[in-house]
Amino acid sequence: AVARPYAALMEWGDGGIRRYQAMLSDVRRAAEQRWKEGCCRGVLEDSHAESKPADASGAGDVPVAAALVMNCNPFTRGHRYLVEQACSMADIVYLIVVEEDRSMFSSQVRLRLVREGTAHLPNVRVHPSGHYMISSATFPTYFIKEKSQRALAHIELDLNIFAHHLAPALGATVRFVGTEPTDELTAAYNAAMHRLLPPAGIEVVEIARQGADGSPERPISASALRQALAQGQTSRALLL
């Protein structure tokens, strides 16, 4: 994958991204089989038509599959809200959790929190990201929150891998994302999604983040939760 003229990701040896694609294809087959058996059927029909992605018009014998990629450091009520909204608009939602261990909460803890927090949603499939989505290989500047030309190249590289290698393996034609009012790097990532994914046949649906105490002026964020925990404000953390 490349982000011309600034960056390229190359691999050597056996396996690599093809092995990861094969794993995702296995995940897709299992999810689609479960959908066909009726475990997840009816989600789209229960949604309001105006809230569905344009791609949802293809509902029928082929499920509408969507992807969410999240760090969840840690999993918050805001994350849960975003996943619930995605589940109301797609038959299958692949929730990919960043696996890189460069966050306050370890990847194992984050993955467990996500699985527990979405257990009530039958059409969610939770999986770790591996090395190919928001990782030190594809997007190293994400972890130092550096907004620069280098970071923008990493964003393009990460999204090109998703669009041309990973989304096809999952059959995902929609990618959901929450709005980002404060973090410049994440906002740039969102903007790049709108630019790069639709030409690859992937619709981008941006959902307004849930506000703390119902206030849109104070969106729930994992950074606010971490700050509350660091300050010993347990009661505040429980609201996030």
Report the predicted TM-score, pTM, of the whole model to 2 decimal places. 0.79
DSSP bridge partners of 126: 95
pLDDT digits 0-9 by tens, 176-233: 999 888 788 889 999 999 999 999 999 999 998 776 666 556 666 666 666 666 677 6
Considering the chain, what percentage of its residues have pLDDT values greater than 70?
66
**Number of H-type helices and E-type strands within the chain:** 9, 7
Both tokens assigned to 57: 């018009």
Phi, psi of 99 (to 5 degrees): -95, -20
Instruction: With residue 206 as reference, give the H or E element that holds it.
Output: strand 203-207
Q: How far apart are CA 65 and CA 34, in angstroms?
A: 13
Is the separation of the CB atoms in 63 and 206 below 8 Å?
A: no
Question: Residue 96: beta bridge partners?
Answer: 69, 127
